[in-house]
Structure 1
């Protein structure tokens, strides 16, 4: 049975509810200050007051869901979003699940459970990157979702070719990130390098495609 947009967004909202419930249940056992930030080596480097820390991620997740619900309605190319709406909606679910995982990890860490928090985050980011690759492979030209450069937004063909490559590179970045977990403290640098490479490559490729099409048009005009 095909799920509706309302149902998929309901699933995303369910992760917000789970986060809020986890906050309420854990609050009596938590200290007044919670560790909420870690450096690249996985060492805690910042804290927040308990109430702020327990509210922040569920509130952020709820705000993101609201934003993603609004974007297709205000996009001048909103009808294009409808053509890949299923993948768009599931991205919202995956993002909400990721934020819930981070929130649950923060609570568990501050309750005294010992684990490498940075590895939890990186594994979640890898899943998010992989689904981003799936989304990009189906995205049609719009103003809010996808690889938005002056050249992709100017041409459906440039958009399609860039997103075909971008989808593959984001999936590859996810695989590389997971493999990088075996490197321990260096894993964060593997993720950073993969994302920077993917971003730079798709940017340059979109310009290359645009220039290639523009040159082809000039040749065709000269022959007519």
Structure 2
């Protein structure tokens, strides 16, 4: 399977979302629920005519953007080195967006379930696969943990993204435990905390690490971590 096939698969998920909209449209109310609070209660709607096509259109646009980025990156030869992993991320992302859209359609058709748990459950494999991509990513301008220090040094890039990969994978596993615990106990807040607290750590630690690593390498400190 090559890049064309993988992006075709991603677009297949977009098509699946569009088909779900077409099939469900006659049975939907005028207002389409699109937002839920932390407790899983609906707290926002929009016109069904817009709600049915917003996520499919957004996903199609992002898939197109993902297809463009490797072509315009000045370091595109580095992206070629991990291109299959990047392509599969696009597929996983499109699958996640389709899951959200089909879930919204089902909810608006009257099926009763906690949409918040569906969102969190879908995020777990997405974030885990982000870790897989970071593990493979070579220095470029669009994909990976990009700071002034990682973009200035291959070693800082490799070590920072390796750390980020580990943190994203562990965040996904912690989120999975929190999701199961929150579902069993009925405490959705636990699932939210298990998802977003590790992600906050994952977002900030690699940035700080890249700065200190670059500084130590530039100073020639043999004790650089």
| TM class, shorter-length | over 0.9
Q: Quote the offset at 1:85 in angstroms.
A: 0.2
C-alpha distance in 1 between matches for 2:211 and 2:178: 30
Structure-to-structure mapping, 1:142-221, within 5 angstroms: 142-181=140-179, 182-183=181-182, 184-186=187-189, 187-216=191-220
Q: Quote the offset at 1:178 in angstroms.
A: 1.1
| Count of matched residue pairs | 217
Deviation digits for residues 112-157 of structure 1 (CA, Å, limit 9, x no counterpart):
1111111110011111100000000000000001101111011000
C-alpha distance in 2 between matches for 1:47 and 1:127: 28
The answer to whether 1:63 aligns with 2:61 is: yes
Structure-to-structure mapping, 1:34-49, within 5 angstroms: 34-49=32-47
Deviation digits for residues 45-69 of structure 1 (CA, Å, limit 9, x no counterpart):
1001101000001001100110000
Aligned to 1:108, which of 106, 109, 120?
Answer: 106
C-alpha distance in 2 between matches for 1:41 and 1:81: 41
The TM-score, its normalising length taken from structure 2, stands at: 0.94
Cross-structure match for 2:80: 82
Aligned to 1:53, which of 28, 45, 51?
Answer: 51
The answer to whether 1:139 aligns with 2:142 is: no
Alignment RMSD (CA, Å)? 1.3
The TM-score, its normalising length taken from structure 1, stands at: 0.94
Q: Quote the offset at 1:189 in angstroms.
A: 2.5
Structure 1, unpaired ranges of 5+: 219-224
C-alpha distance in 2 between matches for 1:62 and 1:131: 20
Q: Kindly report structure 1 stretches of 4+ aligned residues shifted beyond 4 Å.
A: none
Deviation digits for residues 11-53 of structure 1 (CA, Å, limit 9, x no counterpart):
0000010000000000011101011111122111100110100
C-alpha distance in 2 between matches for 1:52 and 1:98: 20
- Segment of structure 1 superposing worse, 165-174 or 187-196: 187-196
Structure 2, unpaired ranges of 5+: none
